[in-house]
Amino acid sequence: MNRFNITKLDNGIKVITEHIPYVESFSLGFWLNVGSRDELKKNNGISHFIEHMLFKGTKKRNAKKIADDIESLGGYLNAFTSKEHTCFYGRGLNKHLKKTFEVLADMLQNPLLKSRDIKKEASVIIDELNDIKDSPEELIFDEFENNIYHKNSLGRPIIGNEKNISSFTAEDLVKFIDEQYGFNKLFIVASGNINHLDIIKLTEKYITKNFGHKKNNRRPIKFNGHENKFLQKEIQQSHVILGLPTYGVKDKERIPMSLISHILGEGSSSRLFQSLRERNGIAYQINTFLNSFFDVSSFGIYYSTNDRNVNKAQHLIGKEFAKLKTKRISDKELKRAKEYLKGNIILSLESTTNRMLRIAQSMIYLNRIKSLEETIFEIDSVTPDNILDYANRSLNFEKFNKVEISSKNGILN
């Protein structure tokens, strides 16, 4: 039996499995290549709203029974919405694969979408939105991407806004599903001690609704210029992100960018952690991030500090970028970054759920399963000269976007 198997069914659904014979469990995901990027301004948040509503009952099950049917078997059911896809997934013991598949298929095809449930769930999601607004360390990431992807759907928050959330109707949800959910956008992915042919048979048996074939109307990113952004809130610390858009998932330059992110701000040995926290004691939180999409990624440095230390922190960060562009990184430091990145990837693969996530994203973005060996080879192939060249071509610190949330009055520097 092959470890990985991929089958495209006649109706367009792709079934992808990874057979792991030594585990007693599975992770199963129903992935739709649909997310908030596919929304309009007037219905922003609807993908996430639909994700919630699919758990609220079907023609066969109410919300409690959806949970009970899986949890009573020792399993787990969940979902998430991103800017580019939506995933409904379950975990369980091998012998309960059929039941988990049937419940997920029922949720996807037969949601009731009752008006009273929609109204109730709108209140829940607005509470979720308010939690984000009350948490500057969460809110600032939405504000940052809204800033760098200004006037693009990728810049809108996944959760939407209160006006939209409060106004969604069953007709709105059905219309979006009919327009966006297609067999050609559906990926059924499983990892664990499962049989590929069994997943195909379950798909053919339980996916009975005809979703048809839907066009991908996703628009490419157009950068419209930007301005630095300042938000004032009643908080104790200033929260800041400095960053810019960079290469997407499919671009070969993303690997050097990922290593630069690790060198600068991931882990306690990173340059920015050592500079801001250890040597200068001015930031408890300091880290870099790389949020990747099909054609672009968001790279940034996030830190929180006392209001009076914001500019000092920015100056220290600028010095580290200047070093990166003028001084060749040592083989030792680059090796440490490579081992950190490879270690994170390999350790994550001890979970069948993470394996399922990795396989699905590889298929959605690359239309193939990118092997771990290929990823490791790409990481190991990066040289100090690659890092220096990339930093000089792509990381002009003076042109970084700045988003700040603070209690102080003033103008961004």
Separation CA 253–CA 386 (nearest Å): 10
Determine whether 137 is an active site residue: no
Vertex 377 angle, CA 372 and 380, to 5°: 125
Compute CA 158 distance to the chain's CA centroid, rounded to the nearest angstrom.
10
Per-residue burial over 240-254, b = 16 or more CB atoms within 10 Å of its CB, e = otherwise: bbbbbbbbbbeeeeb
Nearest residue to 23 via CA among 193, 195, 196, 194? 193
The H or E element spanning position 125 is helix 115-133
Sheet-wide strand order for 86-93: 4-8, 14-19, 186-192, 25-32, 86-93, 76-81
Q: In what order do the strands lie in the sheet with 238-246?
A: 229-232, 401-406, 238-246, 297-305, 285-292
Neighbouring residues of 43: CB distance < 8 A, sequence distance ≥ 6 = 164, 168, 172, 176
Q: Is-contact 146 155, C-beta < 8 A?
A: yes
Q: Helices in 327-371 by DSSP H: which ranges?
A: 331-348, 352-366
| Interacting residues of 168 by C-beta distance below 8 A, sequence separation 6+ | 43, 45, 46, 49, 118, 122
Q: Single out the catalytic residue among 18, 24, 39, 51.
A: 51
Cα–Cα distance measured from residue 18 to residue 192, given in angstroms and rounded to the nearest whole number: 6
User: 401 — phi, psi (to 5°)?
Assistant: -70, 145
Q: Which residues contact 13 (CB under 8 A, 6 or more apart)?
A: 183, 186, 187, 188, 203, 207
How far is Cα 36 from Cα 69, in angstroms, rounded to an integer? Answer: 30
The dihedral sign for the CA sequence 43, 44, 47, 49: negative
The number of angstroms, rounded, from the C-alpha of 364 to the middle of its chain's C-alpha atoms is: 13
Residue pair 268/276 in contact (Cβ under 8 Å)? The answer is no
Report how far residue 32's alpha carbon sits from residue 49's, in angstroms, rounded to the nearest whole number. Answer: 15
As annotated, the active-site residues are 51
